[in-house]
Structure 1
Amino acid sequence: MKITQSFTSVAYPQANGQTKVVNRIIIQALKTRLQGKGKVYGSEAVLPVEIGKTSSRVESYPDDNDQSRAMELDLVEEKRDRAFIRMEAYRNRVMNSYNKRVRIRDFQVEDLVMKKFNPARNVGKLEARWEGPYKITRRVSTGSFYLEDAQGRLLKRPWTVFNLKKYYA
Structure 2
Amino acid sequence: MLFSLVFGAEAVIPTEMVYPTARTSIRDPETNDEHLVQDLDTVEELRDQARLRIAAYQQKMVGAYNKNIRIRRFEVGDLVLLKAFQNTTNPADWKLAPKWEGPYLIEVEAGKGAYHLMNMEGDMLPRLGMQSI
TM-score, normalising length from structure 2?
0.58
User: Residue 151 in 1 paired to residue 118 in 2?
Assistant: no
Using a 3 Å threshold, how does the CA distance of structure 1 residues 124 and 91 change in structure 2: closer, same or farther?
Answer: closer
- Alpha-carbon separation, structure 2, partners of 1:140 and 1:79: 49
User: Residue 61 in 1 paired to residue 29 in 2?
Assistant: yes
Q: Which is higher, the Rg of structure 1 or of structure 2?
A: 1
For 1:9-28, list aligned pairs within 5 A: none
User: Residue 114 in 1 paired to residue 81 in 2?
Assistant: yes
Structure 1 residues without counterparts, runs of 5 or longer: 1-39, 44-59, 162-169
RMSD of Structure 2 on Structure 1 (CA): 3.2
Kept in 1, the 8 Å contact 2:89–2:98? The answer is no
**Structure 2: which amino acid aligns with 1:145?**
Y
Aligned residue in 1 for 2:70: 103
Number of residues paired by the alignment? 104
Structure 2 residues without counterparts, runs of 5 or longer: 1-12, 18-27
Aligned residue in 2 for 1:20: none
- Alpha-carbon separation, structure 1, partners of 2:110 and 2:41: 51
What secondary structure, in the 3-state scheme, does the structure 1 residue paired with 2:72 have? coil
- Alpha-carbon separation, structure 1, partners of 2:103 and 2:73: 16
Using a 3 Å threshold, how does the CA distance of structure 1 residues 81 and 140 change in structure 2: closer, same or farther?
Answer: farther
For 1:1-169, list aligned pairs within 5 A: 41=14, 61-62=29-30, 64-117=31-84, 118-120=88-90, 121-122=92-93, 129-139=99-109, 142-157=112-127, 158-161=130-133
- Alpha-carbon separation, structure 2, partners of 1:94 and 1:116: 27
What secondary structure, in the 3-state scheme, does the structure 2 residue paired with 1:103 have? coil
| Residue-by-residue CA offset, 1:39-59 (whole Å, 9 max, x unaligned) | x9486xxxxxxxxxxxxxxxx
- Alpha-carbon separation, structure 2, partners of 1:97 and 1:124: 32
What secondary structure, in the 3-state scheme, does the structure 1 residue paired with 2:81 have? strand
Using a 3 Å threshold, how does the CA distance of structure 1 residues 73 and 155 change in structure 2: closer, same or farther?
Answer: same
1:123 CA displacement: 7.0
